[in-house]
Structure 1
Amino acid sequence: MSDDSGLWLLLLGPAGATGLYWTLYRYYRNTDKSHAFERETTVEAQPVTGSDRQIGEVTGTRETEIDGNNVTAYRKRVQRIEVDTG
């Protein structure tokens, strides 16, 4: 038995890894099956509507917090959604 008979086994590892990587890449990326959103999708633009109204003025940087700050009241900010299971 010659020493070169095991060489194919050593080359099988990197070749198999490369093949597996390429197969997974093609499977998950689907580059040949994806569509080009910019070319294939039409978006009808509408004119911007609305108005600007000044509701207050803050001058300087002396206030360290915003009025109505609820950072520490996380139970008020985050509310559970009740799911009806019946």
Structure 2
Amino acid sequence: MITDLILQSSSGDGGPLWLLAAGPAGGAATYWAFYRYYRNTDKSHAFERDTIIAAQPVTGGEDKVDHIGRTRASEIDGDNGGDYRRRVQRMR
């Protein structure tokens, strides 16, 4: 069947030759349409320009607050993992 189409198209009338070219052309057009739709390269903003945040000097101190060293405790003091009634409140 395909060989008949090729032979007919080479006979000079140029009839079904466009049908053979439509497959790759349609595939390329579909790929390009999906690429443009999902990439949005023409609609995307310049992230570096549009999201500029002026940096300010870091403030803070170097005071040591708490230090727990060489501990073998397996739990955190004050955890509420076992006290379900205190941890989860009913909505009113």
Find the partner of 1:59 among 34, 44, 69: 69
| Structure with larger RCO (C-alpha < 8 A, sep 6+) | 2
Residue 21 of structure 1 and its aligned partner are, at CA, apart by: 3.1
Partner of 1:30: 40
* Gap regions ≥5 residues in structure 2: 7-15
Q: 1:33 to 1:72 in 2, by over 3 A?
A: farther
Q: 1:38 to 1:58 in 2, by over 3 A?
A: same
Structure index of larger Rg = 2
Partner of 1:20: 30
* Amino acid of the structure 2 residue aligned with 1:8: L
Distance in 1 between residues matched to 2:40 and 2:59, nearest whole Å: 40
Partner of 2:58: 48
Q: Higher helix share goes to which structure? A: 2
Sequence identity percentage: 51
Q: TM-score, normalised by structure 2?
A: 0.49
* Amino acid of the structure 1 residue aligned with 2:20: W
* Gap regions ≥5 residues in structure 1: none
